[in-house]
Structure formats: C-alpha cells, structure tokens
Amino acid sequence: MEKNQIVQLEITDLSYEAMGVAHYEGITVFVNNALPGEVVKAKILKVKKKFAFAKITEIITESPDRIKVKLNQWMQTGLAGLAHLKYDKQLEFKQQQVIGLLKKAHLEEIKVLPTLPSPEQTGYRNKAQVPVRNVNGKLEIGFFRRHSHDLVPMEDFFTTDPAIDRTLVAVRDILRKYRVPAYDEVNHQGEVRYLEIRRSKANGQMMVILVCLHKDFKQLPKVAEEISQLANVSGVLLNYNPKKTNVILGKDDYLIWGDAQITDKIGDLEFKISPQSFFQINSLQTPRLYDLAIKQAGLTKDSVVIDAYSGIGTIGLSVAKHVKAVRGVEVVRDAVKDSEANAKLNGIHNAKYVTGKAEVMMPRWASEGLKTDVIFVDPPRKGLTPEFIKAAVATKPRKIAYISCNPATLVRDLGLLAEYGYKTNEIQPVDMFPQTPHVEAVVVLTK
Ligand SMILES: C[S@@+](CC[C@H](N)C(=O)[O-])C[C@H]1O[C@@H](n2cnc3c(N)ncnc32)[C@H](O)[C@@H]1O
C-alpha cells in the first residue's frame, strides 16, 4: 500500500473518533466519514507500519444509516464528525463504545444502558470558540480542517445555538469593517485569534470575547461599541493571549463594555458564569445528567456531600436541597468565586466552596473530622489521578457518583476504584454532544 493509491475497502467498524475502519493486506485503514457496512473506493493519504488513513473517492455500497449532510465543511473540519449517521445510530454508537472499552478492560459484567438522547440534536451548544484567520486576503471565521490549521470559512456552525452563529457573523463583519487584522499564526502577528461567545439559554444574554494577541489595538473602542449594540449582547471582553500556542485562551480577561458574567439556569437554579469558568455546553440536557447522578446517589437529609472538581458549583448546588451539607473544591479561583455567589443567589446556605486541588482538600477535611457520605466527581477528560483516587477512598464515602466526558479514562478509573471495593452494576451514557463522537456518562459506585 502506498500514498495516493486508490483501494476498494469494506468498512467493518467505526473508530472512537467516528472514522470508518477497514482492513487491507493486514493493515488497518481509517477512512474519513465512512460507515460500517459500506463498500468504498478510497485514496490513501498516509501510511504507517500497521495502519493507514484514507478518504472516500466513491461510495459503491451506501449504508442505510447514512444521511446527507447539508454542508461539506462540517465533515471536512470534524466540527460534526457524526452528522452523516442517523441520530438513533449515533446513540447506539456511543453505547457500543462504552461496551467495547469495558470488554477490553475485562469489566464486561457492568451493564451499559441505552444512551439518553439529547432534547436538541442541533443548535444545542451554548458556547462557541471559533478561529479568526485571513483566507485569500479576507478576515474569516470558521473551523480548522481536520488535523491541520487551515481555516475552512463558515457561517453556520450547526451544533451551536443559531443566535450565537448570527452574532459570530455580525462580529466578523464589524472586524472587517474596521480592518482589524486577523491573527497570522506563522508570523505570530495580527490581532484577533479567536471569537468566543457564551449565551444564556434562560434569558438570551450573550458574552462576546475577542481573544487577541495584544492587550489593546487601535480600533478596539469602535469595534467594542458596535458589538455592544448587537441584539442581546450583555458584555464585551478582550482575552489577552500573547503566547505562541494552540491553547485558545490566555490567563487575563479585560472587560471593555457591560457585564463580565452572564446568568443561566439549570433546573430551577440560577448560575452566574465568568468568562473562564466551565459550564456544561448543552443547557437542556445538563439537568437530566445531574438528576441521574443525584437519584442514584441515595441522598438523605443527613448526607454530607463533596462536590470535587466543582466548577461554578452546579452539581453541589443542585444537590444542596436534598442534603445536610455540601463541600466543594475547584482549582480555578474565578469559578470558586462564581460558586459562592451562586449559592447566595439561590438562597443556599449549606454549601461551602474552596479554591484548591480536590486531592489535597479532601484529606484535609477528613482530618478535621468531616464524615462524607457521597463524593460527586466530574473531572476533565484525563479522568481521575491516582492521588485523587487515594484521597477519595481514604475519605470513606458510601458512594462515589462519577460524571465523565471521556469513557476511556472512566473505564480505567472504574478498574482502579474496584480494587478498593467501589463497584457498579451499570453505566448510563448521556448524549451531551449530538453529531459528534463525544460520549458523556454517569456511574454511581457503592462500597
Ligand atoms: C468537567 S469540569 C466540571 C465542572 C462542574 N462540576 C460542572 O459540571 O459544571 C471539571 C472541573 O475540574 C476542575 N479541576 C481540574 N483539576 C482539578 C483538581 N485537581 N481539583 C479540583 N478541580 C479540578 C476544572 O477547572 C473544571 O472546572
């Protein structure tokens, strides 16, 4: 097999990144946007020792589960890498992914429930972060072509709230009008690197963040004023990111106009959200995700609960009314400030939040005599660290409620927690990210 060769392939599986999997002369071939059951002609793009990458040139036998995607750009960029698959099959794919990982880890006794569908299948994202670059001499917004930094210009981001899309395009036009230079990655010059918009599903408020190479640029006052006049914009901020990096946001935010926070709701609770605070992006599915964890946690009015990795306090505050006390811990100071303000905003007096690492704070609380019944964990994609697991187990909770956005690290951690006697019978996948291969899941472990 060599680069640029055209081969006929039978697709037998979907990889966790939603690429079609085929086998050819002992080599595993990953084919962009191909579906199981399909026979395709494909051009080989890259060959390694044991695997290769290819793209479809012709579909010979089409899967009955394939649907036509409106814009080719969504597939080219990986913005919506599962959009070509019928929604019920997307849900099945997510369930199967967890089943496959459990099998590999010899944990097949754990049952995986059918994936809970999302109330909205498109336009569900309450946040967009889109790169700004020059394409053919024009400032454009869009998404990077898969595995590259070539910008594919776009106006319809499909999974993002349509009100956010309209505002992104309006801000792009303002930047063009005032001839603000887009960021030039190669020479590390220009001004605007990314646009970020966060929108409250509850009241429509939008926060617009210009991620810039410098703290200021000459057109900024005019640009900010025009953005502030767009419908429902409640704040305009500049995020300062001077580094040569792929990380989107810099450390510092400067408020140019309006409010530095928006307020959204989860269930009947209100939450103030700061620019850098984590907030689940699928607003309508989030309360259902939390409810699943809360229901299985077996809470009583006497329970003491830890909200580890607490963000702006969404889980702990949703739990607070069912229990005696909540202790939360989070590394981002602004998020902790938000959680304290959110407790007040909702009249909750039994939840306390601190800034720090969960693995450091939990043993400290235990040594101060805190007896914990349930630990809620909702870690980043890398999952739990061995230090966290040790600290959590030493805290001796009856249950650990684990919300995960990465089934690979979830399954790894389930194996580790089982060694300490924390076990589960089932996993509930929850679709927080329709049209993408991302899988969220809830598990409650009992000792
Ligand atoms: C997936 S978010 C969950 C936030 C929140 N529970 C929610 O549902 O909105 C993970 C959070 O963990 C925080 N974090 C990462 N490592 C941490 C650690 N070692 N200790 C405490 N918090 C941590 C991140 O800053 C982030 O806010």
- Average pLDDT, integer, range 280-293: 95
Known binding residues for S-adenosyl-L-methionine: 280, 309, 330, 378
The response to whether residue 126 sits with its C-beta less than 6 Å from ligand 1 reads no
pLDDT of res. 212: 98
Catalytic residues: 405
The yes-or-no answer to whether 6-66 and 127-265 have a common fold is: yes
Phi-psi region of 316 (alpha: psi -120 to 50; beta: other; left: phi over 0): alpha
Please name the residues in contact with 7: beta carbons below 8 A apart, sequence gap of 6 or more. 1, 24, 29, 41, 42, 44, 54
DSSP structural state of residue 274: -
Mutate to test the pocket of ligand 1, among 278, 282, 329, 334 (most ligand atoms within 8 A of CB): 278
pLDDT at 78 over 90: no
| Radius of gyration over every alpha carbon of the chain, rounded to an integer in angstroms | 23
pLDDT of res. 423: 95
Task: Determine the atom of ligand 1 nearest the C-alpha atom of 310.
Answer: 6
The response to whether residue 339 sits with its C-beta less than 6 Å from ligand 1 reads no
Architecture of domain 127-265: Beta Barrel (2.40)
The per-residue pLDDT of the chain, averaged, comes to: 96
The response to whether residue 122 sits with its C-beta less than 6 Å from ligand 1 reads no
The response to whether residue 342 sits with its C-beta less than 6 Å from ligand 1 reads no
- Average pLDDT, integer, range 95-111: 96
CB of 349 within 8 A of CB of 317?
no
- Average pLDDT, integer, range 371-382: 96
For the CA atoms of 265, 270, 276, 281, the dihedral, rounded to the nearest 10 degrees, stands at -10
Task: Determine the atom of ligand 1 nearest the C-alpha atom of 357.
Answer: 20
Q: Give the number of other CB atoms < 10 A from CB of residue 446.
A: 16
Single-letter amino acid code for the residue at 205: Q
Distances in Å between the Cα of 158 and the Cα atoms of 35, 75, 149, 188, 271 are 21, 11, 20, 30, 26
% the chain with pLDDT above 70:
100
- Domain residue extents for the chain: 6-66, 127-265, 282-446
The response to whether residue 331 sits with its C-beta less than 6 Å from ligand 1 reads yes
Taking each helix axis as running N to C, give the angle between helix 358-367 and helix 386-394, from 0 to 180 degrees, rounded to the nearest 10.
20
CB of 139 within 8 A of CB of 172?
yes
**Judging by beta carbons within 10 Å of its beta carbon (0-12, 13-18, 19+), is residue 270 exposed, middle or buried?**
middle
Spacing, Cα 404 to ligand 1 middle (Å): 11
User: pLDDT-based confidence at 114, cuts 50/70/90?
Assistant: very high
Spacing, Cα 278 to ligand 1 middle (Å): 8
pLDDT of res. 39: 97
**Model confidence pLDDT, tens digit, residues 230-246:** 999 999 999 999 999 99
pLDDT at 225 over 90: yes
Tokens of 390: 């040790």
Nearest CA to ligand 1 atom 18: 357
pLDDT of res. 188: 97
Tokens of 124: 């569900």
Taking each helix axis as running N to C, give the angle between helix 162-177 and helix 220-228, from 0 to 180 degrees, rounded to the nearest 10.
150
- Average pLDDT, integer, range 211-215: 97
CB of 283 within 8 A of CB of 201?
yes
pLDDT of res. 147: 85
pTM: 0.93
Can you name the residues that pair with 377 across neighbouring β-strands?
A: 308, 402
CATH number of 282-446: 3.40.50.150
- Average pLDDT, integer, range 19-47: 95
The response to whether residue 165 sits with its C-beta less than 6 Å from ligand 1 reads no
- Average pLDDT, integer, range 6-28: 95
**Model confidence pLDDT, tens digit, residues 321-367:** 999 999 999 999 989 999 999 999 999 999 999 999 999 999 999 99
User: pLDDT-based confidence at 248, cuts 50/70/90?
Assistant: very high
CB of 95 within 8 A of CB of 115?
yes
Known binding residues: 280, 309, 330, 378
The response to whether residue 335 sits with its C-beta less than 6 Å from ligand 1 reads yes
Spacing, Cα 311 to ligand 1 middle (Å): 5
Nearest CA to ligand 1 atom 27: 311
pLDDT of res. 76: 87
Please name the residues in contact with 91: beta carbons below 8 A apart, sequence gap of 6 or more. 114, 115, 117, 429, 431
Spacing, Cα 288 to ligand 1 middle (Å): 19
Task: Determine the atom of ligand 1 nearest the C-alpha atom of 329.
Answer: 21
What gap in Å lies between CA 209 and CA 159, rounded to an integer? 19
What gap in Å lies between CA 113 and CA 426, rounded to an integer? 7
Task: Determine the atom of ligand 1 nearest the C-alpha atom of 278.
Answer: 27
% the chain with pLDDT above 90:
96
Number of H helices, E strands in the chain: 10, 23
What gap in Å lies between CA 342 and CA 332, rounded to an integer? 15
CATH number of 6-66: 2.40.50.140
Our measurement of the distance from residue 56's CA atom to the centroid of its chain's CA atoms, rounded to an integer in Å, reads: 28
DSSP structural state of residue 115: P
Residue with tokens 């024009």, as numbered in its chain: 138
The response to whether residue 357 sits with its C-beta less than 6 Å from ligand 1 reads yes
